[in-house]
Amino acid sequence: MAADIEYDRYDRIRPIRWTGTALELLDQRQLPFTVEYLSCSSSDDVAAAIHALAVRGAPAIGIAAAWGAVLAARDVDAGDGATAAAEIESALQRLNAARPTAVNLAWALARMRRALAGAGSDWREVLEREARAIETEDLAANRRMGEMGASLIAAGSGVLTHCNTGSLATAGFGTALGVIRAGVAQGRIDKVFAGETRPWMQGSRLTVWELQQDGIDATLIADAAASHLMKSGQVDWVVVGADRICANGDVANKIGTYQLAITARHHGKKFMVAAPSSTVDMDTASGDLIEIEERDPGELLGVSGSRTVAEGIQAWNPVFDVTPAELIDAIVTEKGIVERPDAERMKAVFGA
């Protein structure tokens, strides 16, 4: 379709490459100054890359874990999928423990287990086909949700995004950045702003770099400037991704998302969450039940390995926060749009 050709102009980055013998992951810790792929030859290599944030973004983590399952099975000698599944279960559990909050990780591994359980002697081919399907389906879902999300945005709008939700965080095109890419391609979005996203600076290191690669102008702001930006009238929508969406519409996402939603509501701006349906967790009733990952406090005490804080200072470093459903105007997935989400509207789209 002509629209697909147009969107290809804004989708040139691929962070995950399967070579047939190894998984290559674009090392996002090195960006924007060094473009370097890590070669993972074992499932534990993949788990380490996920934990260290070499690969990040809920969909990308799930895709990487699926290929990690393929690597875990490399040296297994089994006559059928059920036997192979038992052999690699400990490796799958180590992959699952690498990042506990992102539901896509557990979702992808559960899907790989199901594929194995029904496989016969061709279980290796089945396992690899399933990993490839997870990756291919994610790209298609991102294109679809990008179009749907962009349809909510009026022509001439300004948008603010947080963290990185683009090709780097997915199989390609992105979730929230996919909405922005589609909005730019359709002429709906005139201005794009990105928050720096402390402490790992995914906005300043990754998002604005990624948009630059695709020829999309973006303006970087300090996280603390978001309220002032919204007050200035330059932003109409805040568009973010998600690491977990609960049955009632509560959303766990990168730390700092919650305060953006509060600020948007105060200033009369719209707040959109764009994520694949695999991020929806209908088994978790509300955000109060989500385990919030905390990382090393040392990440707050310096920049690029150089300490900037006096010795003896303590730090608290939660990676995610939870935005209540009542602050969200729209949740966009490839399965549809849930406006003003609550438990009833979520159930209507995603089932019980």
Give the residue numbers annotated as catalytic, written as ranges: 243
What single DSSP character describes residue 294?
B
The gap between the terminal CA atoms of the chain, to the nearest Å, is 35
CA–chain centroid gap for 42, Å, is 23
| Two structure tokens written together for 274 | 């764009």
User: Measured between alpha carbons, how far is 210 from 345 in angstroms, rounded to an integer?
Assistant: 34
User: Contact, 210 vs 168, CB < 8 A?
Assistant: yes
3-state secondary structure of 264: helix
Pick from 150, 175, 161, 162: nearest CA to 61: 175
User: Contact, 274 vs 179, CB < 8 A?
Assistant: yes
Instruction: Confirm or deny that 253 is annotated as ligand binding.
Output: yes
Instruction: Confirm or deny that 158 is annotated as ligand binding.
Output: no
User: In terms of C-beta density within 10 A (0-12 exposed, 13-18 middle, 19 or more buried), how is residue 85 classed?
Assistant: buried
Pick from 48, 1, 3: nearest CA to 27: 48
Instruction: Confirm or deny that 254 is annotated as ligand binding.
Output: yes
Greatest Cα-to-Cα distance within the chain, rounded to the nearest angstrom:
65
User: Measured between alpha carbons, how far is 108 from 41 in angstroms, rounded to an integer?
Assistant: 19
Amino acid code (one letter) for 159 = V
**Secondary element (H or E) of residue 332:** strand 330-333
Instruction: Confirm or deny that 265 is annotated as ligand binding.
Output: no
Instruction: Confirm or deny that 28 is annotated as ligand binding.
Output: no
DSSP letters, 142-187, are: HHHHHHHHHTTSPTTEEEEE-S--SGGGSSSS-SHHHHHHHHHHTT
Residue-level length of the chain: 352
Instruction: Confirm or deny that 181 is annotated as ligand binding.
Output: no
Instruction: Confirm or deny that 269 is annotated as ligand binding.
Output: no
Pick from 199, 127, 193: nearest CA to 157: 193
User: Measured between alpha carbons, how far is 189 from 155 in angstroms, rounded to an integer?
Assistant: 6
Pick from 272, 269, 247: nearest CA to 257: 272
Binding-site annotation, residues for substrate = 56-58, 99, 202, 253-254
Binding-site annotation, residues = 56-58, 99, 202, 253-254
